[in-house]
Structure 1
Amino acid sequence: MSDRGVLVVTGGSRGIGAATARLAAVAGYAVLVNYAENASAAEVVANAIRADGGRAETVRGDVGTQEGVAAIFASADRMGRLAVLVNNAGVVDHPARVADMSWARLDRMFRINTLGSIACAREAVRRLSTAQGGKGGAIVNVSSAAAKLGSPDQYVDYASAKGAIDTFTVGLAKEVAAEGIRVCAVRPGIIDTEIHASGGLPDRVRDMTPGLPMRRPGTAEEVARAILWLASDEASYSTGAILDVSGARAVLP
């Protein structure tokens, strides 16, 4: 197994993050699995990687706080040279119209989904930039098809937070392109993960499947494979790119 450096995946204890962590280990990265609360789920991911001969550590840290971000990158520094950041941590909430959204909900939505990703990318740039003594690397942000669709009557706040990630991806990519850092994003569509249940709609995937262009949801591994490709040297001339992994849903009018 080759040594490609350290790959940090935020929100790595479940869903897309967990799938990304496992595939990253197979690709030869030492993987830091971040979680906010569920230590046992993160350890399951890390133990599976170790059982297959890979290297993995876990770190608790809420990306929506300065202390959480600091804890993540302190652990990454102890593991070795940072090579890739996957900004995957994110939250949804129960469906609501904008007129009914509380300040607390909006604060949580943007603090974790947007500000957390920007803060983590800031720390990654400080370590990766050739202008600051780094050896370069990649940042892959996890956006959402909601950024293009708007999610009216359900998650306009979530869609807006992810729309900000799209803009951030393009801006940061241009800012650090000459410093050995590539910045891309994936925009998943309806993916069969636990996030729907956390938003109060455990049957959302099943209910939406008949109306999806491919008549099926995507899987966490399908998104993870796109993330790992964007992080790899195979995507060496791709930066500022946002890849839809939505089964054509995000391109519908």
Structure 2
Amino acid sequence: MDFTGKVALVTGGASGIGEAATRAFAKAGAKVAFTYISSGAEANALEKEIAGAGGQALAIKADLTRQDETDAAFAAVVRAFGTVDVVFTNAGGILQRIGTIESSLDLWQRAFDLNVMSTYLTCQAAVKIMAEKKSGAIVTMSSLAAMDGGGPGALHYASSKGAIVTYTRALAKELGPLGIRVNGVAPGLIDTRFHVQFNTPEGRKAAVEGTPLRREGTAEDVANLVVFLASDKAAFITGETVQINGGRGLY
């Protein structure tokens, strides 16, 4: 898959799946911008790594739950690279594991801000650019939790990721006539810091045992799918959220 001459933006692109996607787009020839919020040292190192390999990269610190910072991030990409052709809305996550009785309205609002509103604001800013040239590809980040309800204490997270599945489908219908494709990925257990932080070793072991392929996924597994969905190889695919979980979602 060749992205030479294309500009890709990966949100939350300095660590985990986002980092793998940033590298994958750069390897495919794209000029890559990526946002981060707290991984400053990692972002700077990744930017230098890509430049050292002959690519072009731009690290941007931005809180994508804020419209002003989201719009400023896109403006920075356009200043540096001229346009935006591809966006992967990877930024998001789970805040904590907590049951329904103990949870709060504030937690739910923050979860939806982090996962849903950041996706909406990012896509809105992207579409303003893509609509003018009637082309573009957006890949959103959902989760297996959106399909199976997630693990204990993850109701707020699973619900927000479920909203992204619906948002992806609805946005694809709206933007199809403009030549813009919108798809999503829904990873299961992936070997990143995210799953180390929010899963116990016992829980991860049980998840692997319940996965037909009998292993955790890698960030690169997901990044490869993201790059495919953003590429011309997927030119007739839109509105889909593709599960990538080693078959765990079959149960």
**Which residue matches 2:52?**
51
Find the residue that maps to 2:233 and give its secondary structure: helix
Q: Residues 39-68 of structure 1: CA distance to partner in whole angstroms, max 9, x if unpaired?
A: 111112222211211100100001111232
Whole-Å separation in 2 of the counterparts to 1:207 and 1:243: 23
CA displacement at 1:145 relative to structure 2? 0.6
On the 8 A contact 2:3/2:25 being kept in 1, the answer is no
Letter in 2 for 1:66: Q
Question: Against the structure 1 CA distance between its residues 51 and 207, is the aligned structure 2 distance closer, same or farther, given a 3 Å change threshold?
Answer: farther
CA displacement at 1:152 relative to structure 2? 4.8
Question: Against the structure 1 CA distance between its residues 208 and 236, is the aligned structure 2 distance closer, same or farther, given a 3 Å change threshold?
Answer: same
**Which residue matches 2:12?**
11
**Which residue matches 1:211?**
210
**Which residue matches 2:61?**
60
CA displacement at 1:2 relative to structure 2? 6.1
> Structure 1 residue 24 and structure 2 residue 53: aligned?
no
Q: Residues 101-153 of structure 1: CA distance to partner in whole angstroms, max 9, x if unpaired?
A: 12332122110100110111011111001xxx224110000110100111252
Say which of 85, 93, 96 aligns to 1:94.
96
Letter in 2 for 1:156: L
Whole-Å separation in 2 of the counterparts to 1:48 and 1:18: 12
Whole-Å separation in 1 of the counterparts to 2:175 and 2:84: 16
On the 8 A contact 1:93/1:198 being kept in 2, the answer is no
Unaligned runs of 5+ in 2: none
Find the residue that maps to 2:146 and give its secondary structure: helix
Runs (4 or more) in structure 1 with deviation over 4 Å come to none
Identity of aligned residues (%): 36
**Which residue matches 2:79?**
78
- Paired residues in the alignment total 248
TM-score, normalised to structure 2, is: 0.94
Question: Against the structure 1 CA distance between its residues 99 and 152, is the aligned structure 2 distance closer, same or farther, given a 3 Å change threshold?
Answer: farther
TM-score, normalised to structure 1, is: 0.93
Whole-Å separation in 2 of the counterparts to 1:151 and 1:135: 37
CA displacement at 1:221 relative to structure 2? 0.3
On the 8 A contact 1:93/1:155 being kept in 2, the answer is no
**Which residue matches 1:156?**
155
On the 8 A contact 1:92/1:198 being kept in 2, the answer is no
Whole-Å separation in 2 of the counterparts to 1:222 and 1:12: 15
Whole-Å separation in 1 of the counterparts to 2:55 and 2:93: 29
